[in-house]
Structure 1
Amino acid sequence: MTAEQRMSMDSSTVLAFDLGAGSGRALVGQLAAGPDGADVLRVKEIRRFANEAVRIGDHLHWDMLRLFQEVKAGIRQAFREGYRPATLGIDTWGVDFGLLDAGGELLGNPYHYRDPQTEGLIGEVIALVGKEELFRQGGLQFMPFNTVYQLYAMRKAGSPKLDAAETLLLTPDLLLYWLTGVKICEFTMATTTQLYHPEEQRWNVELMRRLGIPERIFLPPVPPGTRAGRLRPSVCEELDVPALEAVAVGTHDTESAVAAVPAQEEAFAYIVCGTWSLLGTELKRPLLTAETMELEFSNEGGVGGTYQLLKNIMGLWILQECKREWDEREGAAAYPELVEAARRAEPFRSLIDPDDTRFYAPADMIATIRDYCGQTGQPVPQTRGEIVRCVLESLALRYRQALEQAERLTGQRFSGLHMVGGGIQNELLCQFAADASGRPVWAGPVEASAIGNMLVQLIAAGKCRDLREGRRLVARSFPVKTYEPSNKADWNAAYARYLKLRGSRA
């Protein structure tokens, strides 16, 4: 990079890539003076692209090469629109990875976390290690997509890729490597693998050896904000851009989103709302108690030396699949129309347990919802409005249960609930969350993962002092809508029905 190009880059401008399970976005963030003279963060989306799984034979894969092309196109677009970002960061979903050989080449197409290869393996690993020990050493919910089960599945299948692998790179680290040529493992993503020991702050090599997973492929984790190298000369030449620097942000999109929660209180509860709903609270240390395990909470590494005690809830995936099926069978259905139909539908007619495993990856989501309601002695929802209302009310009641469980685990009482992420555009869900929990919900910002990504870049550049200051910046830069609870008696009655349906207690 020439001296002239370096001078033209603006350290107050950053480029964030936020890749979710269904789509990706490239966004530019710029610090600017607000009405009172204090800095605010201006964000503009410059590119959006689909992220679709690819089925090959019996396996489901990510189209990583196309995603890399989209990231490069986003970099080119930023400069074509006249921006001069000094840094870029990438955050993605957790757990998935690519394997590189000794020459740095990708060994096969990375598997999608909904690939069926891990079916039944949680029980096998627990039988080998012990449930309590596995939780104490990994700190995560026992979810079939966790990296440990994917690698164990490959070992059981005799995959030659494991023997040939030199390095494992989790999804955002793989994209950064292709951009810069630098191999790193960022901390927040490392903690999604169930192979990182949260208490001892190291890879769990003993577990790797026990499961036949090669320990040599894991790099030492680096903290969020680590500088991860400049764009390769070949990338700069291809895109006709200067060698801007990559920053390993909180590369797990959940942790980037939590970094952007505009909470001013020390103890707060949040929901990162999208394909998945992640409900939790921020702690200084992981909470690895037996009760945490029994209530199925995870401990994931966060930005700024924090840990997130959180619950993975199935989220809007259920509604997204219903919409996809309606689109294919009956013609396109816009989300606002579906939500309005739900608003008009009869309240509390039918409920589901969103975390029932039958909703994880069914062949027919609408039929699965109807079967569940019929098998549990409830009215079977028929119309779109009835189905959508069933999903949204059930999610809100699940939020209440998880919120109360988080309070029990931490000894905290949360005055309300922060909701961030794309799911907050569903205003009916936000209102239901307030109604079900009996507390206000503060919704915003929508692009939380990208904004948290930007905050870490700005902290790395010295433009923002720390995470606390970053959250103040978010609070004065983006609107937050408050939803007040209502219909307390009706929601309490529905909650009692819901708990009986789950066969559990609050």
Structure 2
Amino acid sequence: MISESVFAAVDLGASSGRVVRGEIDAERIELREVHRFVNRPLALPDGLHWNVGALFEQLCVGLAAAGPVRSAGIDSWAVDYGLLDAQGALLGLPYHYRDPRASAPPPIGPVELFERTGLADLPFNTIHQLRAESAERLGAARNLLLIPDLLGYWLTGAVGAERTNASTTGLFHATRQDWDRELIDRIGLPQRLFGAIEDPGTSLGPVRPALRDAIGGRALELVRVASHDTASAVAAMPARTDRFAYICTGTWSLVGLERPAPLLTPAARERGFTNETGVAGIRFLRNVMGLWLLQECLREWPGSNTAELVAAAAELPALRTLIDVDDPDFLAPAQAGEPPMTVRIAAHCDGPVPRTPAEFTRCVIDSLALGHARAVADAVAVHGAEVEVVHLVGGGVHNASLCQATADACDRPVAAGPAEATALGNLLAQAIAADVLPDWPHARYLVARTHPPTHYSPSGDRAWRTALDRVTALARKRAA
């Protein structure tokens, strides 16, 4: 029998995916991970792609493992997409956002782009990826579906776009909260690619009957959640005040504030901020390179244990060697023709070049904490109001050294947790849609009660202020 308060979250990250079963009522949230799988990109002759067929297969395995649930929802990373032809067939594997496809510059400058879309002008944004598409592929395409929408289409046959993810494309009007049809025309893209935008909580309908055996032999409703994983993570922030900053840690760190409306000032644009739609207003944030740096280093150290490396790094002196984590030289994976990550870090060091895995790990942890601090300080400066606490969620919660370093670098208390914020946000959207919970303020209060964060107090050590000046100087030198 299907419980009215049990849901399944399909949570796809850039390096792994999982399916989480959640039981939710007004007093409790109980989570159980039922399936986890790797997400490895495919380096093919024409570029770096996502293996979406394998993701779909593992998604179905996970939904079968979840057992009877009232509904399921899918979230993933942003900006990447699949193109469907007139018969609904996928026109090739979606490109990976780290693929260095060269795109023609759009016939519109970055200032106007920011004023219209609210986004920082990043090379992997959907608008630039589409500018790199061939005329043949665009001519054959009838629909563009972002990754969660594509997987939802395969499950249900429903075509559409979810609002929080659409807002990351660079083709979405920040104040009108819909596709920027004038911009789409100006850059020469077919209007037919961009379907109706729907909000989190709307239903895609039941899974196709032909797929029921693959997901456990039962009917299942799919619900649109905040399908950009950062939007789901921020939705589940255990905040008790509106005076907070957030850091969603993982392959990327997304650092910012919640606002009732987009902030489209020159200062916001010049400092690299972006305005994305969330469930409680606008996510005003900046991308910081994130734990990707350490993940890539670990690929060079077969057999290394992350926890042991972090523990060894904690025994080393802090702040000896720093890098600007936002340097674009760190963006591409080694298999895309770039040197190994340790080689790139060594070439950009301020301080002695690391020689051991523990020294590289210490450099990455300290530098990432300072990247967090720079983004928080800039967000506060352009937003114009102070924050009382920094909420840190996602995989970085398990790295106590990173949490403490972030508190020291930000010189603000850090509330770390929950690690599973993205899956929680996914499940909570379904619970609200099912009237199990009344609204998002109640959902956040419930998270704070059932998943209390771990608190880290800043040390007050002025060495972190000096270190922040060092990485700021590196960033200015890069921008010069």
TM-score surpassing 0.5? yes
Letter in 1 for 2:111: E
What does residue 335 of structure 2 align with?
Answer: none
CA deviation string 1:177-226 (max 9, x = no partner): 11111112100010010000111222122222222211111012111111
Contact 1:101–1:165 (CA<8 Å) still a contact in 2?
yes
What does residue 368 of structure 2 align with?
Answer: 395
Following the alignment from structure 1 to structure 2, what is the Cα–Cα distance between the partners of residues 175 and 190? 15
Match of 1:275 among 247, 251, 254: 251
SS in 1 for 2:238: coil
Letter in 1 for 2:179: W
CA deviation string 1:53-76 (max 9, x = no partner): 001103000000110001110111
Q: CA RMSD in A?
A: 1.4
- For residue 352 of structure 1, report the CA deviation from its aligned partner: 0.4
- For residue 496 of structure 1, report the CA deviation from its aligned partner: 2.1
Following the alignment from structure 2 to structure 1, what is the Cα–Cα distance between the partners of residues 387 and 181? 38
Moved >4 Å (runs of 4+)? none
Following the alignment from structure 1 to structure 2, what is the Cα–Cα distance between the partners of residues 503 and 152? 29
- Give the helix-richer structure, 1 or 2: 1
Instruction: State the percentage of identical aligned residues.
Output: 46
What does residue 243 of structure 1 align with?
Answer: 219
Segments of structure 2 that go 5 or more residues without pairing to the other structure are 333-337
Following the alignment from structure 2 to structure 1, what is the Cα–Cα distance between the partners of residues 149 and 252? 22
Match of 2:32 among 15, 34, 44: 44
Letter in 1 for 2:99: D
CA deviation string 1:478-504 (max 9, x = no partner): 131001111522212222222222227
Q: Does 1:93 align with 2:77?
A: yes
CA deviation string 1:229-285 (max 9, x = no partner): 111111114444321111100000000000010001123210000000000111111
Following the alignment from structure 2 to structure 1, what is the Cα–Cα distance between the partners of residues 215 and 467? 56
Following the alignment from structure 1 to structure 2, what is the Cα–Cα distance between the partners of residues 450 and 415? 26
Match of 1:418 among 362, 376, 391: 391
**TM-score normalized with structure 2 length:** 0.96
Q: Does 1:142 align with 2:121?
A: yes
Counterparts of 1:170-185 in structure 2, within 5 Å, are 170-185=146-161
What does residue 115 of structure 1 align with?
Answer: 99
SS in 2 for 1:129: coil
Segments of structure 1 that go 5 or more residues without pairing to the other structure are 1-7, 33-37
Letter in 2 for 1:388: T
Relative to structure 1, the CA distance from residue 436 to residue 235 in structure 2 (aligned partners, 3 Å threshold; closer, same or farther) is same
What does residue 288 of structure 2 align with?
Answer: 313
Q: Does 1:77 align with 2:65?
A: yes
What does residue 253 of structure 1 align with?
Answer: 229
Contact 2:294–2:364 (CA<8 Å) still a contact in 1?
yes
Following the alignment from structure 1 to structure 2, what is the Cα–Cα distance between the partners of residues 412 and 443? 22
Letter in 2 for 1:41: I
What does residue 322 of structure 1 align with?
Answer: 297
Match of 1:437 among 410, 413, 419: 410
State which drifts further: 380-389 or 458-467: 380-389
Match of 1:385 among 330, 351, 358: 358
Contact 1:118–1:145 (CA<8 Å) still a contact in 2?
no
State which drifts further: 334-343 or 486-495: 486-495
Contact 2:162–2:199 (CA<8 Å) still a contact in 1?
yes
SS in 2 for 1:409: helix
**TM-score normalized with structure 1 length:** 0.91
Match of 1:153 among 132, 144, 147: 132
SS in 2 for 1:17: strand
Counterparts of 1:197-346 in structure 2, within 5 Å, are 197-304=173-280, 306-327=281-302, 332-346=303-317
Letter in 1 for 2:369: A
What does residue 14 of structure 2 align with?
Answer: 21
Following the alignment from structure 1 to structure 2, what is the Cα–Cα distance between the partners of residues 239 and 494? 51
Following the alignment from structure 1 to structure 2, what is the Cα–Cα distance between the partners of residues 256 and 31? 16
Contact 1:346–1:386 (CA<8 Å) still a contact in 2?
no
Relative to structure 1, the CA distance from residue 494 to residue 239 in structure 2 (aligned partners, 3 Å threshold; closer, same or farther) is closer
**Count of residues paired in the alignment:** 473
